[in-house]
Amino acid sequence: MPENFDVNRALVLDEPFVPTLHNPTLIPLTEAISNQQIHPSDRCLVTTIEDTPLVVDLLPMAYYHTVQGTLNDTPWLFSFCLICNAGSCFSPIIDGKPYQFMATGVYNGMTLLQDEETKSIWHHMTGTCLHGELNGKTLPLLQMLRHMTIEQAHTAYPDAVLMQTPLPEPIQAIRGEITKLHNDPTLMFDAETEATIGQEDGRLPRLEAGIGVITPAQKRFYPIRWLNMADNFVIDTMNDRHLLVYICPTTGDPHAYYVDAESAEWRGEVLKLDNGDTLQDAVLYDPDGNLKPIEQPLQHYQRWYSFAFTFPYGDIYQA
Terminal-residue alpha carbon distance, the chain: 26
Tell me if 168 is assigned to some domain.
yes
pLDDT for residue 69 is more than 60 = yes
pLDDT tens digit sequence for 166-192: 777 776 666 666 666 666 777 788 999
- Asked whether residue 198 is assigned to any structural domain, the reply reads no
Same domain, 173 and 222: no
User: pLDDT by residue (tens digit) across 91-118?
Assistant: 999 999 999 999 999 999 999 999 999 9
For residue 307, give its domain range: 209-316
In a domain, 202, yes or no: no
On whether both 20 and 163 belong to a single domain, the answer is: yes
pLDDT band at residue 83 using 50, 70 and 90 as cut-offs: confident
Same domain, 172 and 217: no
177, 201, 232 - which closes a domain: 177
Compute and round to an integer the Cα radius of gyration of the chain: 19
% of the chain at pLDDT higher than 90: 80
Q: How far apart are CA 200 and CA 196, in angstroms?
A: 11
Kindly indicate the confidence band of residue 2, based on its pLDDT and cuts at 50, 70 and 90. Answer: low
Q: Could you give the number of structural domains in the chain?
A: 2
Residues 24 and 98 reside in one and the same domain: yes
Q: Is residue 236 in some structural domain?
A: yes
Domain boundary among 129, 153, 177: 177
pLDDT at 188: 82
The answer to whether residue 186 sits within a structural domain is no
